[in-house]
Each structure stands twice: as structure tokens, then as C-alpha cells.
Amino acid sequence: MIIFGLFFLFSFFLSLIFASWYTATQITISLFLGYVCAVIADYMIHRYIWHGKWRFVRSKFFQWWLYPHYVHHLIAHHKHAWDARSELTSTGIVPQEFKQTMEKRFSDQPWVIRALKCSNHGLSIANISCMINYYSLFVLTPHPYICLVIYFLWGYPAIFAILPSFLAIFTQINHRYYHMDVQSRREICPWYLRYFFCSSEFDRLAQAHCNHHYTKEHYDDFYSVYPFSRLFLVPIFGRS
């Protein structure tokens, strides 16, 4: 919590080097609002799209866009998390035979096959095209519209409201670390990512994420993979 507060304080004073007090305040507020909205977006995408809480996600009209996301996450990723739990815990990798079985199941649905390969069955993002497809889900959340409001009010500080949304892409590219135990993560994680993936806050996030996958009482909880997301989500949604 202290680190989280210090980050925004540092952002404010850094902004003062290049801008006035008024503009620095706008930038800091934009960054903070952008982070909160990105946290909410991450939660909404996971719960309402990937878990199919919104019924239209599974409708025929969205077979090309939303439904494949639902399949790659709830059907594929959650099943792999159980079937390959020991492999995920130690290496963060799903054995190829599990992937092949899943792809064979949906072999007649090209959009689903693409989603499975794009997401590496829920553990990463394969390329720029897949990244854009994932990022397109943000249009179903408040985040881009809050950024637009900030732009019309203040102009370029809206850029700083957009930036926190890219953390969602980063967490999905490196999603395997959320499934690994602490020791395996510290052994495998490259040095330049350790500050994030080997921090005490990430240890808490990874434990919460595993509770989401493996405990019945938390199946409908712990959706967000953003650091400190509980500070904003619990007051709003009653869960994180």
C-alpha cells in the first residue's frame, strides 16, 4: 500500500520537472483514474466475458469475437489448470497433449482455434494481432470512455490515463507466473521481471489467483490480476 502511494507521489514530482503544478496535478489524477478504470476493466473482462456472466458473450452474433475468449479461458484455461496443475505449479507450462485434445474438441470452430493459439490456451499472448484482439475487449468497459472524458477536459494528460491499461497486456503475456509456486517462480523468472513477479504483493495475487482456480468458495472471486486491485474492487463490487 505504501509503495502504491509512493508511486503516484513520485509521478507527481516527476511531472513537475516538465510541467506546471496544475498540469502535474492533471497528469497524476489522470494516471490514478486510468489505473482504477484499468483495474475495473480487467475485472469486468475476466468475470463477465471470460466467465460468460454476460449471456450475449455466448450468442451466435459474437461467435467470431467474444465467444472464443470465453472458450480459451473458462473452458480451456480452467480445465488445463486442473489437469496440468503440477506442471503449471512448477514450470507454468501446459503439456502439448492437453492442448491438442482441446483443439481437437473445437476443430470445427476456426475462431475458437485462433483464440486458443493466440492465448496459448490462456497463458500468454502470441503476437500483435492477438494483442489487438484482446485489447479490443476494453471497449466493453468504462476505461476508454473515461480516457475520452479526460481528453476533452484536459487534453494530453489523457495519455497517462491510457497507460495503465497496458499492464493488462503485460500480465496476460506473463500469466504463467500467476500459477507457479513461489520457489519455482523465483527460479524461472528473469532478473528484469523479479521486482514485479517476485514481490510480496505478487505473492498475494498469485495465491488469490490459485484460490480462484482451485477453491469452490472463491471460484466467483479474485478475478483481477492487477496489484492492489482489491482496494478499489471490493468497495465497488464486494469482491476482487
Q: In whole angstroms, what is the distance from residue 94 CA to residue 87 CA?
A: 7
pLDDT at 231 exceeding the cut of 50? yes
User: How confident is the model at residue 24, as a pLDDT?
Assistant: 80
Q: Is the pLDDT of residue 133 over 50?
A: yes
Mean pLDDT for 164-171 is 97
The band of 166, judged by pLDDT with boundaries at 50, 70 and 90, is very high
Confidence of residue 8 (pLDDT cuts 50, 70, 90): very low
pLDDT over 90 for what percent of the chain?
87
What is the residue whose three cell numbers read 494483442? 131
Where does the pLDDT of residue 23 fall: very low under 50, low under 70, confident under 90, or very high at 90 and above?
confident
Helix axes 96-105, 110-118, angle to 10 degrees: 160
- State the average pLDDT for the chain: 92
Q: Compare 23 and 102 and report the one with higher pLDDT.
A: 102
Cα separation of the two ends of the chain: 16
pLDDT band at 18 (very low <50, low <70, confident <90, very high): low
Residue that is written with C-alpha cell 500469466 in the block: 175
Hunting for cell 528484469 — which residue is that?
A: 192
pLDDT tens by residue, 135-149: 999 999 999 999 999
Look up residue 14 and give its three cell numbers.
Answer: 516527476
Long-range contacts of 21-26 (CB under 8 A, 24+ apart): 23/157, 26/154, 26/157
The type of residue at 181 is D
In this predicted structure, the answer to whether residue 122 has a pLDDT above a threshold of 90 is yes
In this prediction, residue 25 has a pLDDT band, given cuts at 50, 70 and 90, of confident
Name the DSSP letter for residue 180. S
